[in-house]
């Protein structure tokens, strides 16, 4: 029998619609958890908006905004446990914050400071710029956890465009063969820089790619933080039990790919309006307001606190002494190799400090 794509039906998991109405009964997330998730989403949004302004002022370097993807990031990160590991790409600001990375370090990273890559405070690997490479690193981490019989799951994030990279497919194949404790979260934000999703792949969904590698796949409304949280909890349990998971979060990048990009050159205003009505912060606020646990006054106070926290973090980063050439050699290995010592000696003699 021929295998045809039309035979496959993939449901998109959603718990709360864009008007804030519950779509399912018995949602297990407590009022306190909802408020905490929303507070992280607001913090990520405020950081993001500020970072965009700072880049335009020339105070930080090139920046990849996450606006519109807060539910996909915070909902999934909030479901992780402290001993789970994150392998991010360059857009996972929300995930990194929620997992405990100090905000000032994120600012330092955008400034090109080597301290920005030191992440001892959280189980978050350094940002990976090479598209798809973080998936292989996550597989290595998951295999190590399996080998050492640790109660730990590796979670890696990638965009829809990144799924066209060989590293992504190699990682899924390896995870499936060795039944590793790993979750691949694909943030399908509709655009791989200027390439739309329908030009990126012929498959109806990204989630269905899991079948080719013998792992579990699921498609989630990535603007629904509750759906992301509930589904990610299940994904963590599956991964722990030896079934790797590919989770597709359907969302939208509201801003440019990076500050070096202009989305008005390739994206229609109608598309932005359509997805703007699905904004994850608006949806969460409407849902909590409908439950009677949120109001405009609490919302205003939350945004003000987030603004103050972002300002304080940037002030710390901006007042931190800049990295020098010598610092490069101190941030590679825990113990420097003889070759590294020699390179450091040569650099001191060749470059005026």
Q: Which residues belong to the active site?
A: 253, 257, 266
- Distance, in Å, from the CA atom of 84 to the CA atom of 104, rounded to the nearest integer, reads 23
Give the CA angle between residues 174, 177, 181 to the nearest 5°: 75
Going 36 to 42 to 43 to 44, the CA torsion angle's sign is positive
For residue 218, the surrounding DSSP H or E stretch is: strand 216-221
- Distance, in Å, from the CA atom of 42 to the CA atom of 47, rounded to the nearest integer, reads 8
Q: Dig out the tokens for 46 from the structure.
A: 């405020």
- Distance, in Å, from the CA atom of 179 to the CA atom of 245, rounded to the nearest integer, reads 10
Number of Cβ within 10 Å of residue 297's Cβ equals 8
Distances (CA, A) of 300 to 291, 295, 296: 18, 9, 6
Q: Find where tokens 């020699």 sit.
A: 342
Q: Dig out the tokens for 1 from the structure.
A: 């029998």
Nearest to 228 by CA among 209, 250, 204, 245: 250
- Please, are residues 180 and 215 in contact by the beta-carbon 8 Å criterion? no
């Amino acid at each position: 029998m021929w295998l045809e794509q039309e035979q496959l039906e993939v449901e998109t998991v959603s718990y709360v619609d864009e008007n804030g109405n519950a779509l399912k009964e018995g949602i297990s997330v407590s009022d306190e958890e909802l408020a905490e998730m929303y507070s992280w989403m607001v913090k990520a949004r405020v950081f993001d908006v500020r970072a965009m302004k700072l880049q335009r002022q020339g105070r930080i370097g090139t920046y990849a905004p996450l606006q519109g993807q807060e539910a996909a990031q915070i909902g999934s990160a909030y479901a992780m446990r402290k001993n789970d590991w994150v392998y991010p790409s360059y857009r996972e600001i929300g995930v990194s914050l929620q997992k405990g990375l100090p905000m000032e370090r994120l600012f330092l990273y955008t400034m090109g400071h080597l301290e920005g890559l030191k992440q001892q405070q959280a189980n978050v690997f350094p940002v990976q710029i090479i598209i798809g490479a973080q998936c292989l690193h996550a597989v290595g981490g998951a295999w190590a956890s399996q080998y050492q019989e640790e109660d730990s799951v590796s979670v890696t994030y990638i965009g829809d465009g990144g799924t066209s990279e060989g590293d992504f497919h190699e990682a899924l194949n390896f995870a499936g063969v060795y039944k590793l404790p790993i979750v691949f979260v694909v943030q399908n934000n509709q655009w791989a820089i200027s390439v739309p999703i329908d030009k990126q792949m012929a498959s109806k969904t990204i989630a269905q790619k899991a079948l080719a590698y013998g792992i579990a796949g699921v498609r989630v409304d990535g603007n629904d933080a509750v759906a992301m949280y509930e589904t990610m909890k299940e994904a963590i349990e599956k991964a722990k039990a030896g079934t790797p998971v590919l989770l597709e979060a359907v969302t939208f990048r509201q801003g440019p790919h990076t500050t070096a990009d202009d989305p008005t050159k390739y994206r229609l205003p109608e598309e932005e309006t359509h997805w703007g009505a699905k904004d994850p912060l608006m949806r969460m606020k409407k849902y909590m307001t409908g439950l009677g646990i949120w109001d405009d006054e609490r919302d205003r106070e939350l945004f003000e606190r987030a603004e103050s926290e972002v300002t304080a973090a940037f002030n710390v980063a901006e007042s931190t002494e800049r990295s020098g050439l010598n610092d490069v050699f101190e941030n590679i290995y825990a113990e420097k190799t003889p070759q590294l010592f020699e390179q450091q000696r040569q650099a001191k003699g060749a470059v005026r400090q």
